[in-house]
Structure 1
Amino acid sequence: MNLSTQLHQTAKRLGGKSAYYFMDKGTSYAELDAAVTKFASGLSQLGVKKGDHVALLLGNSPHFVIGLYGALRLGATVIPVNPIYTADEIGYILRNGDVKTVVGLDLMIPLAEKMHEQLPTVEHYITCESGQSDAANLDVSQLSVYPKLKPFTEVLGAGLLDFEGPQLSDDEVALILYTSGTTGKPKGAMLTHRNLYSNATDVSDYLKINEDDKVITTLPMFHVFCLTVALNAPLMNGATLLIVPRFSPGEIFEVSKKYDATVFAGVPTMYNFLLQYPEGNPEDMKSLRLCISGGAAMPVALLENFERKFNVAVSEGYGLSEASPVTCFNPLDRPRKAGSIGQSIVNVENKVVNELGEEVRPGEVGELAVKGPNVMKGYYKMPEETAATIKDGWLYTGDLARMDEDGYFYIVDRKKDLVIVGGYNVYPREVEEVLYAHPEVVEVAVLGVPDPNFGEAVRAFVVSKNPELTEDQLLEYCREHLAKYKVPSSIGFLEELPKNTTGKILRRSLKDQVLQTK
């Protein structure tokens, strides 16, 4: 079984039920499944074959859902790409990923014109209408890339409903997800049909996602958190997606109220924005049965304040692209522990190990390692990096963690973000938790910077709701709650913290700014 086959089975069982709403228009499972089949057929008529690589440069839209499942039904390998990446970033992924076909908004046509000679493997650019005048007024017939351009509607319209895709092996690569590349060039994590199907199944079982659910899908679909938790898992079980093109607190409240949403998945910064939104009305979210947090550690103060205001449980979990992505979630039927990423989901093992790969005792900090049917096949064209990351079947995550006596895991920090002050280990998250607990602090990022006396020093950046709050006041607050060596050497105030497209705070960007000003 794979995602495309499961969608077909769901459509046969619940054909008339809404698979998703987008811009207030509903689409049934039967309509979605037919579009997926026709798009797969249309790709086949263009010469796209099983095993070919198809890139999606799309935001949250029906085009993405149809493009993803259509390519999978054909047996192609899908490479989702952040559409707001720079030309250099996109070009690297398309070249490194040996992409043959690109599906994107018509806004990408000028970029395709500029780059297509540097991308000889790309044979087709399938364009989706954006409705924007810049694209509508472009005379594509005069462009050198014109022979490679195909409208999405044309590919879809040429497709046949009786198309039958090839037989697919569980071990064949379904998706290549490029990591953010904060420590170098992005690496393409190869996820098989088994990886994706097993994780979507196990996540939906764990979170009890069912056909009565209406899931707010506002996390970026090109990101693995959304792909599994807010797209694949719901569609496998006959739930309805409420597709929101981009995150906006006001729109989330509106969509939740209008459609009686039952599930919301987001990263901590989204919860922070919802909590701080002046017009946020708890009544608008009264239908929610579950909120899911991932992508980054959620500060305990934020979690507790959000739950208190909106009277809904937030289940924090953990995952990474290389694990399809989910490995842990806080359980729904047992006690939830604030600050924990929960316990291992079914079929997945987590353990905390030392430098020798030996499991450490409960309470001790080490590297989190993961094993299960969700662990990637490896990095595309990077055998050495694969061997360094997957050892004896265990995926070494690079995250520092600890496990308590009850089998609940806690992310202490990224291994590379650890700050060593005069020989003492300082975990940025611990300092951030303290600052988040201050009533006038909205957002925090803590990092290590070079220090001539202690090797490294702790530096904090905060966003405050009170313009009168001073650095001295916050430093004094830290001294009351932290050991001396953990107290920041300085605290800077910003109007907002730099974030990536999923809302994850970018410590690396802040660190680069600090180093450039020295």
Structure 2
Amino acid sequence: MYLSAQLQETAKKFADKPAYCFLGQQSTYAELETAIQKFASGLEKMGIKQGDHIALLLGNTPHFVISLYGALRLGVIVIPVNPIYTADEIGYILDNGDVKAVVALDLALPLADKMHTLLPNVEHYIFCETKPDCLVQSELEKLSVYSKMKSFTEVIASGELSFQGPALKEDDVAIILYTSGTTGKPKGAMLTHKNLFSNAKDVGDYLKMNQDDRVVTVLPMFHVFCLTVSLNAPLLNGATLLIAPKFSPKEVFSLIKEHSATVFAGVPTMYNFLYQYPDGDPDDLQSLRLCISGGASLPVALLKNFEKKFNVLISEGYGLSEASPVTCFNPLDRPRKPGSIGTSILRVENKIVDELGQDVPIGGVGELIVRGPNVMKGYYKMPEETQATIRNGWLHTGDMARMDEEGYFYIVDRKKDLIIVGGYNVYPREVEEVIYNHPEVLEVAVVGIPDPNQGETVTAYVVSKNPGLTREQVQEYSREHLAKYKVPTTIEFIDELPKNTTGKILRRALKHQISQKVNN
């Protein structure tokens, strides 16, 4: 089965049920299915065919859902792109990804106009209207890319409900997700129809999603976490998406209360903002049956504080783009373990190995590797990187972890973020967990900096609730809970930690700041 085909079946079963709510408007499953079918047909009439690549330069809107499922129904390979990337970042992905058509909000068209001469392979620009037609038309005619443009509305209007899509194969690539590129240029993870469907189905089953669920879809749709957990899995099970254009604590509280939402999925920084929001009323969240955290490690102190304040449980999981993404979740039918990413989900194997690929004893730290129907086909046009990442059928995640005697996994840290102080291993997350417990600390990130004597030393970047908090106080608190070599030698107080669009803290940006200081 495939995502788009399964959605057809869901739409037949729940035709009159709301598929999504967006800015006060809602659409039924029957209406969504009609739009998807006609969009797929409209793409075909434009000359786009099975195997072509189409980029979605969109935020959280119904346009994304319709474009995604319509393209997949035609057998087109979808490349979601963060719409706030710079022209250079977007240009690289469109060029490297061999994109033939782009779907974007009309607000992004001036950017496309600047780029299109450098992207001769892009033949079509489909724009989604956000302005009055007369204003849009007068502006569009001024663009040099005008001859390649068509509105989203036009594409759907040209489509036919009688459209019959091509035969698909489960190992055909469905989506290419470009990783955030922590080292070098972003790599395009090729996810097949089998990868995406299996993970969406298994996650939906694991989390017991059903037609009565109302899922807050506030994570960015172009990110794999949202794509599977907050979009595909709910739609396959007849749930209703509560689409939020962007994250705002005020709007999230309002959305949950207004629609009696049952599922919320977010990254740790979202939970932190919700916890710190002064007008956050615990009663507003009482309809939630499930809160999900992923994308980065959730500090145990934050988890406990959030649950105590709002009387809801957070189930932490783990995933990565290359695995579609989910590999682990804290089970709902057994005790949840704070600080753990849970156990392997159905049909997915996780294990811990050393540098030689040998199994690490229970409790020992090693690299987390994964295999299952969700593991990517490889990196687009990067065979060497693919071979280095997928070995003997196992995906090497680059994350250091351990497993306890009951099969629960714990992420220790990213392999490349490991700090070595005088020959001793220091895992940034362990230090962060301690400092996070300090009552005056709002956020913290720990990185290593080169040191001629120790190899590296530990630096902590701290966002404080109290302007009077001192470096010495943080260090003294750390000494009470950490071995001497793990205590940060440098404490930097900053107003805000650098984060990407999903809220993940960017340690590489902090390291860049350090290197600039050293070079200057």
Residues 110-138 of structure 1: CA deviation (Å, up to 9, x unaligned): 12211111111100000011238997375
Q: Indicate the residue corresponding to 1:463 in structure 2.
A: 463
The answer (yes or no) to whether the contact 1:106–1:135 under 8 Å persists in 2 is: no
Alignment of 1:91-490 (within 5 A): 91-131=91-131, 136=136, 139-490=139-490
Q: Equivalents in 1 of 2:408, 2:133: separation in Å? A: 52
Larger deviation, residues 123-132 vs 17-26: 123-132
Q: Alignment identity in percent?
A: 72
Opposite residue 305 of structure 1, the aligned amino acid is: N
For the 8 Å contact 1:191–1:322, the answer to whether it is kept is: yes
- Deviation, structure 1 residue 143: 2.6
- The whole-number CA distance in structure 1 between the counterparts of 2:202 and 2:140 is 46
- Per the TM alignment, residue 231 of structure 1 is displaced from its structure 2 partner at its CA by 0.1
Structure 1 residue matching 2:141: 3-state secondary structure: helix
Aligned residue type for 1:404: D
Give ranges in structure 2 of 5+ residues lacking alignment: none
Q: Distance in 2 between matches of 1:369 and 1:293?
A: 21
Distance in structure 2 (CA, Å) of the matches to 1:371 and 1:135: 51
Q: Secondary structure of the residue that 1:375 maps to in structure 2?
A: coil
TM-superposed CA distance for 1:386, in Å, is 0.4
- In structure 2, relative to structure 1, the CA distance for the partners of 1:134 and 1:457 (3 Å cut) is farther
Residue identity matched to 2:336: R
Q: Secondary structure of the equivalent of 2:495? A: coil
Note if 1:60 corresponds to 2:50.
no
Q: 1:138-187 CA distances to partner (integer Å, 9 max, x unpaired)?
A: 53223321110111100011111111111111000000000001101000
User: Mind listing any 5+ residue stretches in structure 1 that lack a counterpart?
Assistant: none
Q: Structure 1 132/352 Cα, relative in aligned 2: closer, same or farther at 3 Å? A: farther
Q: Secondary structure at the match of 1:90?
A: helix
How far apart are 1:433 and its partner, in Å?
A: 0.2
State the alpha-carbon separation in 2 of the partners of residues 133 and 4 from structure 1.
31
Matched residue SS, 2:164: coil
RMSD: 1.1
* Number of corresponding residues: 518
2:31 corresponding residue in structure 1: 31
Q: C-alpha separation between the residues in 2 aligned to 1:279 and 1:139?
A: 42
Moved over 3 A (4+): 132-138
Q: Which digits, 9 at most, give the CA deviation of each residue in 1:427-451, with x for residues without a partner?
A: 0000000011111111110000111
Structure 2 counterpart of 1:257, one-letter code: K
Separation (CA, whole Å) in 2 of partners of 1:460 and 1:134: 53
The separation in 2 between residues aligned to 1:246 and 1:138, in whole angstroms, is 29
1:456 aligned counterpart, secondary structure:
strand
- With normalisation by structure 2, the TM-score equals 0.98
Aligned to 1:2: 2
Equivalents in 2 of 1:134, 1:422: separation in Å?
A: 67
TM-score with structure 1 setting the length: 0.99
SS at match of 2:278: coil
Q: Tell me how far apart the structure 2 counterparts of residues 126 and 28 of structure 1 sit (CA, whole Å).
A: 24
> Partners of 1:348 and 1:314 in 2: how far apart?
22
Deviation of the 1:514 alpha carbon: 1.3
Partner of 2:15: 15
